[in-house]
Amino acid sequence: MEEMRINKYLASLGIASRREVDKMIEEGAIKINGEKATPGIKVSDKDEIYIRGKKIEKYTEKKVYYILNKPLEVLSSSKDDRGRKTVVDLINCKERIFPIGRLDYNTSGLIILTNDGELFNKIIHPKAEIFKEYYAKVFGEIKENNVELLRKGIELDDGITLPANVRVLRREKGKTELLVAIREGRNRQVRRMLDKINHPVITLRREKIGNLSLGNLKLGEYRELTNEEINYLYSL
């Protein structure tokens, strides 16, 4: 294999996503030929790479792809230093997988897990602009002018959001149920958008990523993606 940046190299082996590799480099957890790795350094199969003292074998894992209906109070990460349950703990597989993107601790719904670093980068890249649809139940009956604000873009602390697709499902007894589809990946974005119009979230669940949906998966259940679904994600 020709030389490539270490984050891309380790992602191609299914070790971790590029972002996670960069974080490990910052922590000083990666050594190359006995020296601490630096951001952007290039490596090849000839190099000896250790992560937290464990040598990385150069075989390429079989690529696996899962869709999970994440329960509440489960972390969207590969592991947790405080011993809390993560989405990876819910998948029974021998490959070293990681989640694509994140869902808040108190948000449930669709999340993709894989050991395919290239697909990870394709989906989370800002240029991808893939719509993610959320079901939300909020306090208060949202008026149409506030729905229009969400659709046009709303001013948050980190700038104006891109226009969202919004559909109100029902308004009753001081609550509103709606679907909100966004194409950005800001932290807690849907919650903050709804807070901004004074309708705090009661329940938030991600229903779709692009055309990929939860289907009949119950909370905590998962399944492998079909070849058709994998090809679809690569086409985005």
Going 80 to 120 to 47 to 22, the CA torsion angle's sign is negative
Distances in Å between the Cα of 215 and the Cα atoms of 11, 93, 110 are 29, 22, 10
Classified as helix, coil or strand, 122 is helix
CATH number of the domain that 14 lies in? 3.10.290.10
In whole angstroms, give the CA distance from residue 21 to residue 51.
10
Instruction: Give the chain's domain count.
Output: 3
Residues 98 and 135 in one domain: no
Residues 204 and 231 in one domain: no
Catalytic residue among 45, 47, 89, 104: 104
In a domain, 60, yes or no: no
Q: With a threshold of 0.95, does the pTM exceed it? A: no
- pLDDT tens, 12-70? 777 888 888 999 999 999 999 999 999 999 998 888 999 999 888 776 678 899 999 99
Which helix (H) or strand (E) segment holds residue 138: the answer is strand 132-139
- pLDDT tens, 57-110? 776 678 899 999 999 999 998 888 888 999 999 999 988 899 998 899 999 999
Q: What phi, psi does 7 have (nearest 5°)?
A: -65, -40
Which residues form the domain of 86? 65-126+212-235
- Active-site residue 104, yes or no? yes
